[in-house]
Structure 1
Amino acid sequence: MNIVRPVGHADLEQLCQLANKVSPGMTTFPPNKAILEKKINASQAAFSGNGDDYLMVVEAHNSGRILGTAGVYANIGLHTPFYSFAMLTRTQQCYDLDMRVSSRTLHLVNAYAGETEVGTLILDPTLRGKGLGKLAAKSRYLLMAQFRSRFGNRVMAELRGWSDSNAVSPFWEHVGKYFFKGLTYEQADLLSATTNNQFIADLMPTHPIYVELLPEAAKAVIGKPHDLGRSALNMLLKEGFRYENTIDIFDGGPTVHANIDDIRSVANSQLHTISAIGTPIAHAKRCLVCNDSLTDFRVAEVLVGFDANEDIVISQHEADALYLGVGSALRILPLEM
């Protein structure tokens, strides 16, 4: 049985080990204890009701092994700008020559101020394809559904852009590095994740960048996710997220967004009360279930019994793992068969 729960300081060593497994490339989750400890502190404040950066871990309940992470970040772009490139199309027409020309341009924007970001979806590479990604991803939506007032009306996700087998990003090589001379892609992305981003405002161009003037290698990867991020993008699209020509300023990866109440897992989850603890036999369904405690938030995939009166039954083992008892409120998201 796997549990999703808030990260704690006791997880630091395992988080470093996980970060080492996914490096290089995952610059927002580096194998750096000082940076990861700051993330833990910020998350603990959020789950105590005094912050916005919620970081959760996927834990093998019996062994305590950390299998992955998932994050939710409310009110982005307010205290620290969240910069992106918005790609706009401008059409000009010359009637004398009967000619029309359309040009795409990239504009530096802070378009997501006050919104919620879902991210830090990281899994142990040795465990891909075992359903952990779905558990980790959907746990974020259950958190938002259960504590709706803590999150804005729109949710976004920024996906890692395409790079080759040597971790070289064509977009960075032909765009970003010319504005951040002396910095590598990894250094710039790490600064973006760990500073107030003033360096972006100071160094990035204030005028539009014409896409048609870029090399083909850079144009080809605009809005293209990394090969390892395609499954994450597909999960987001199935939840109702849409890509609308906003990209990461460093690697050109796609940014997608959705209205929070339209996200499939938010809309399809329902609040119930446990009627009994026992063996769920009648009309049992595999569901994702979370409790209603912010401080001790827990999510797991469990077998839920629904009787003729819509009474809810789960097993003692699963109730204990989720900190639930008879009369406890729980949020249920039925899994697709």
Structure 2
Amino acid sequence: MFLLREVIPTDLEQLRDLARRLNTLNLPNDSARLQKLVDVSRGSFGGVYREAKFRDYLFVLEDLAEDRLIGSCLIIAQHGTYERPAVYFNVREEQKYSTTLDKHFVHQVLQLTFNYDGPTEIGGLILHPDYRGHQLKLGKLLSFVRFLFIGLHRDLFRDRIVAELLPPLNPDGTSDLWDCLGQNFTHLDYRTADLLSRDNVEFIRSLFPSTPIYTSLLPEHVRDLIGVVGKRTRPAKRMLEGIGFRWDHSIDPFDGGPTYAVEANRCEPVTRTKRVAFAGEFGEDERADGRALVSVEDESREARFMASLCEYREVDGGVELRGEALEKLAPEGEVGMMRLSW
């Protein structure tokens, strides 16, 4: 029995434990960063921050039977502000021709670019290894709960949604692109630079070249990594492409991972999200019309947003629901609902 919900302060110790086990860039093993992330998320769900640039929403996945947090995911309402612009390389072509030699070249170039009025970003998805490959597709549920929330609160988010995907990294977690490029301009290792950039990209703006970088100057094996998705990230890429995301020809300046983007009004799970009236439960012997990700929002609860996988049946005046976590959701009146096709 699994429940998706907003993070609450008492989750911090379990988040630390999850971070210690995995120690990923998505969930760093850093108590101060985790505390700040929880605090900002609580304020975001609580409506404390009026401007999108201040809001981050952290969701957790809980195994209710084990009383255990097993995953998390994040929405950054605005990725790219005056204080902390989004930074990336635009990947484009530049043609050269010599009349003397009668030779024509099409070069791939990287142009450092900053966005001070950025889109909404989905990120930070992690799932405990023990729960990967679960028949309920828990990773996909973690991913889709973000689209459910965006669909229910379109006014809180930007018109464009992006996701930065991880490229192939070395077994020790380092990046060949960074080692051949960024490290030469900063004298910082990949992990240090990436963590520093979460709060401040001034060093990139000050130290990186502002002129185009010709990728032909890089080793071939590094060129081959540009815009490529890592093996473990390919399922996420296929999922995003299936709901409307496409590569926007930009990459992360640290590791070369591609950015995928979609207009919110063309993102299939966002447009499929509706508010519907809850018409009660239906019995185990009654046929369901399908499955849906269902959410309840209640300001009187500590976790004001909760969601779970349910079976539904359409009836006059709304939907009836059935699910293991339905008692925990305790829906009354209206629920958020995203019908699922998988």
Structures share fold, TM-score greater than 0.5: yes
- 1:87 counterpart (91, 102, 107): 91
Please state if 1:269 is matched with 2:255.
no
Please state if 1:321 is matched with 2:321.
no
Relative to 1, partners in 2 of residues 1:240 and 1:293: Cα closer, same or farther, differing over 3 Å?
farther
Q: Which moved more, 1:91-100 or 1:3-12?
A: 91-100
Task: Render the CA deviation track for 1:228-275: whole Å, top value 9, x for unaligned.
Answer: 222222221112110022001111111111001111111222221012
Report the CA distance between 1:46 and its aligned residue: 0.5
- 1:259 counterpart (258, 263, 272): 263
Distance in 2, Cα, partners of 1:50 & 1:104? 45
TM alignment of 1:124-273, pairs within 5 A: 124-130=128-134, 131-181=137-187, 183-193=188-198, 195-273=199-277
Give the match for residue 15 of structure 1.
15
Task: Render the CA deviation track for 1:59-96: whole Å, top value 9, x for unaligned.
Answer: 11233211100100012211311101111111233456
SS at match of 2:96: strand
SS at match of 2:174: coil
CA RMSD of aligned residues (A): 2.0
TM-score (normalised: structure 2): 0.90
Distance in 1, Cα, partners of 2:39 & 2:185? 33
Please state if 1:47 is matched with 2:55.
no
**What letter is aligned with 2:290?**
K
SS at match of 1:59: strand
Distance in 2, Cα, partners of 1:292 & 1:6? 10
SS at match of 2:86: coil
Contact 1:171 1:217 in 2 (8 A): no
Contact 1:74 1:114 in 2 (8 A): no
Give the match for residue 57 of structure 1.
60
Contact 1:285 1:304 in 2 (8 A): yes
Relative to 1, partners in 2 of residues 1:306 and 1:112: Cα closer, same or farther, differing over 3 Å?
farther
Relative to 1, partners in 2 of residues 1:97 and 1:20: Cα closer, same or farther, differing over 3 Å?
same
SS at match of 1:298: strand
Distance in 2, Cα, partners of 1:232 & 1:20? 24
Distance in 1, Cα, partners of 2:205 & 2:337? 43
Give the match for residue 4 of structure 1.
4
Report the CA distance between 1:319 and its aligned residue: 3.7
Contact 2:77 2:121 in 1 (8 A): yes
**What letter is aligned with 2:329?**
L
- 2:306 counterpart (278, 298, 301): 298
Please state if 1:336 is matched with 2:317.
no
SS at match of 2:44: helix
**What letter is aligned with 1:3?**
L
Give the match for residue 72 of structure 1.
75
Please state if 1:110 is matched with 2:118.
no
Distance in 1, Cα, partners of 2:282 & 2:324? 9
Contact 1:85 1:109 in 2 (8 A): yes
Structure 1 alignment gaps of length 5 or more = none
Please state if 1:311 is matched with 2:318.
yes
Task: Render the CA deviation track for 1:3-51: whole Å, top value 9, x for unaligned.
Answer: 111112211121112112223xx22421111110010011011101124
SS at match of 1:83: strand
Distance in 2, Cα, partners of 1:153 & 1:141? 13
Task: Render the CA deviation track for 1:116-175: whole Å, top value 9, x for unaligned.
Answer: 000001110221111111100000000000011000000001112211223231111111
Report the CA distance between 1:224 and its aligned residue: 1.5
Aligned residues: 330
Relative to 1, partners in 2 of residues 1:293 and 1:263: Cα closer, same or farther, differing over 3 Å?
farther
Distance in 2, Cα, partners of 1:7 & 1:288? 18
Report the CA distance between 1:98 and its aligned residue: 4.3
Distance in 2, Cα, partners of 1:310 & 1:157? 37
Contact 1:28 1:190 in 2 (8 A): no
Contact 1:279 1:313 in 2 (8 A): no
Report the CA distance between 1:282 and its aligned residue: 4.5
**What letter is aligned with 2:194?**
D
Task: Render the CA deviation track for 1:285-316: whole Å, top value 9, x for unaligned.
Answer: 21111124576111110111223x36311248
Distance in 1, Cα, partners of 2:220 & 2:156? 43
**What letter is aligned with 1:165?**
P
Task: Render the CA deviation track for 1:310-334: whole Å, top value 9, x for unaligned.
Answer: 6311248644322412xx2112222
SS at match of 2:29: coil
The alignment-based identity, stated in percent, is 31
Distance in 1, Cα, partners of 2:206 & 2:292? 48
